Amino acid sequence: MRTRVALKNPKHPLVAMLYVLVFLPLWWMAVTALVVGLTFVAWVREIASEIPDAPNIIAWQSSLPQSSVVMTRDGMRLQILPFVVSKETGFRTLSDGLPKSSILVKAILAAEDIRFFEHGGADGKAIVRAAIANRRAGEVVEGASTITQQVARGVLAQSIGKERTFKRKLREIFVAKKLESSYSKEQILTAYLNLPFLGDLSYGFDAAAKRYFGKESEELSIAEAALLAGLIRSPSVLNPRKYPEPAKKRRNHVIEGMIENQLVSAEEGERAIAEPLALVEGRGQPQLPWVTSQALREVKSLDKERLDRGGLTIVVTASPVVQHETSLLISKRFSQAKEIEVAYSLIENATGYRIASVGGIAFKSSQFDRSELACRQPGSAIKPILYAAGVETGQLTAATPLMDAPISEWDEEHEIYWKPNNPQSRFRGIVIAHDALVSSLNAPAVDVLNRVGFRSFRAIAAKFGIESKIATVRPSALGASCLTPVNLVKAFSAFPRLGLVAAGNVLQSIHDGDGLLHSEMHFADPFAIPQRRLEEFLQHDDGLRAISEETASIMVAMMVDVVRRGTGKFARMKQTIGGKTGTTNGNTDAWFVGFSSHHTAGVWLGRDNPKDGLGAGRDGGRYAAPLWRKLVSLADAAYPRRAIARSGNLVSASINPDNGYRLKGGGRLLQFLPGTVPELQEGGALSAPAKALGESGRNF
């Protein structure tokens, strides 16, 4: 007979056994699960409570270190400069976003987050897919972080942390959810475009497109976009410059994903897979390197720390066409000249801008900028400054008779006799100031210095902006004290500018995302916006006045004659120009500095070692002046011909060049300040026709 067990009876041994072995463990498991679940919920809530509000990704992008750009006034980009923040150096150009249909966006979606436009910040399907793939591979071969999560990591790196834990992943998801609720998909995607490091010092896709391919991000091909998208995961290991094969393999994998997800056609994808990497070389090389390097030196002197932080737009004054043609002409002409170097600066008289500048024959072979940094003796090119000091202080007129006789003085420092000579070793006894400058006679220049005095000469030179100290020795009248080529060109700009020294600036302005930081803009700048031109016009001052308008005009007349019939004849052009030659002992330095109505420019030729001369016949008049003529012709070609500005407060008089007296007719027609015209020569006329320049007066 079978025995029936009544389970209702708790005292039955089998019921007790079942209770102990089954129900009690299940009960404990349920309780434990509940406790664990509640604890987990509390833990998750605690983590969620620690997460700040949705970060401002717009402000975050603006705060990122960015590249600076150097550009011309008409918008030509010359160089992109890296930021230097702490130990981080790189390039980043903030993107304003790309349309969903762009090739780069499609490549990023295929590589990182194909369901980006569908999920709410975290992608459950991607998490499961990645877990299965990683389980099968036995290592991490696929990630599950969405684009939004990656942006969250970038924006709130400190709050989220960097440890590889579940807690960090939760923080990341919470931040991603907040981002999705606060910003559009397009805004999040734009932030992502500016975020990742992509190798080769590139941060963000815009910078990477320029560094690897020399293109804007919207110009990329399928293969190029896929390469960049593939770099996100491991930019160092997949750097295409160092590891082209792994980079190409990863690129092709991204293209296959684009085909699989119907982002491109199979035919387009196969063509892209067949393409070589085709990276650009010579990246980062500046256009117009002399101008760019000069501008950066000036910016660094203003605020190097701000330049390092980046994000600046640096606008230079140079004319890209004139600068390019100038550099090309110089390099072609002197490419075979052994160890001869050139410095050249060109200033636009109307604005005072330096629109062309060359510091040497070839920037690639030598970056030393001789136009700004080489301090060389100007020789006779200093004489217009000295003569202007004489006119300005009332010690000199164009007709003042000067002593032109041999000088012999003992130089105690060098233990030799100082004997300044004239061309062809000829002396005239007496020569008027105008003719002395035209023929670049040395003894009369010493006479002028004796009349003016060192104190007045140095004071006037300082007004001209001469930066180097003029030595208190009589050879200073002949250019014994050194100065830089650009400094002398700036000084000469005072003559055609009616006494006002040009700034000669290479910087027009500096901007950042918040607006204008620094301005040297002139109201006559045709590239400035009308409002800025008006503001500059209302705020501008006349700048540094070296001499009066009248003195400047008298000196212009003298230097026009230097070119017409004096030492500067090889600089002659169709339009009226003026200038002055300069040559130092042994033809060590050859100069021509001069002006047209539109420009002031200077050429220096020499060797880097001042002990080495240029050779016979290579002086300022025969070597520097012809080059000056060609270079200034390039710049003046785009301007209408007009007369050089002159003062209307001068009077003209005919002068006897033999003695400086006024004539009723004939002789030299010179200009004077009212009240300084010489007395009328007895009889009022030359007793004989004036002799040729260089033959007048007594020869010694």
Q: What is the full DSSP assignment across 148-164?
A: HHHHHHHHTHHHH-SS-
Q: Residue 603: what are its φ and ψ, rounded to 5°?
A: -115, 130
Instruction: Give the SS3 label for residue 667.
Output: coil
Of the candidates 374, 282, 436, 409, the residue with the CA atom closest to the CA atom of residue 589: 374
Mean pLDDT of 639-665: 92
> And the tokens for 372?
């700004």
- pLDDT value at position 487? 97
- pLDDT value at position 60? 85
Percent of the chain with pLDDT over 70: 83
Of 66-75, 309-318, 355-364, 419-428, minimum mean pLDDT range: 419-428
> And the tokens for 332?
């072609």
Question: pLDDT (tens digit, 9 = 90+) per residue, 9-45?
Answer: 555 666 566 566 666 666 667 666 665 555 555 545 5
Q: Residue 507: what are its φ and ψ, rounded to 5°?
A: -100, 130
- pLDDT value at position 178? 80
Going through 349-434 in order, the beta strands assigned E by DSSP cover: 354-358, 401-404, 409-411, 416-418, 429-432
Distance CA 116, CA 229 (A): 15
Mean pLDDT of 535-564: 88
Q: What is the crossing angle of helices 442-452 and 383-392, to 10°?
A: 40
Mean pLDDT of 153-171: 60
Of 389-393, 414-418, 465-469, 658-662, minimum mean pLDDT range: 414-418
* Residue 447 pLDDT grade (very low, low, confident, very high; cuts 50, 70, 90): very high
Q: Mean pLDDT for the chain?
A: 86
Does 530 or 71 have the greater pLDDT score?
Answer: 71
Mean pLDDT of 334-360: 93
> And the tokens for 652?
């003209």
Q: What is the pTM of this model?
A: 0.84
Of the candidates 610, 563, 564, the residue with the CA atom closest to the CA atom of residue 590: 610
Alpha helices (H) along 374-529: 383-392, 433-438, 442-452, 454-463, 485-492
Does 182 or 601 have the greater pLDDT score?
Answer: 601
Structure-token match 């021509």, residue found: 592
Cβ contact 618:590 at 8 Å: yes
- pLDDT value at position 9? 53
Residue 275 has pLDDT above 80, yes or no: yes
Alpha helices (H) along 102-204: 103-112, 124-137, 147-155, 157-160, 166-182, 185-193
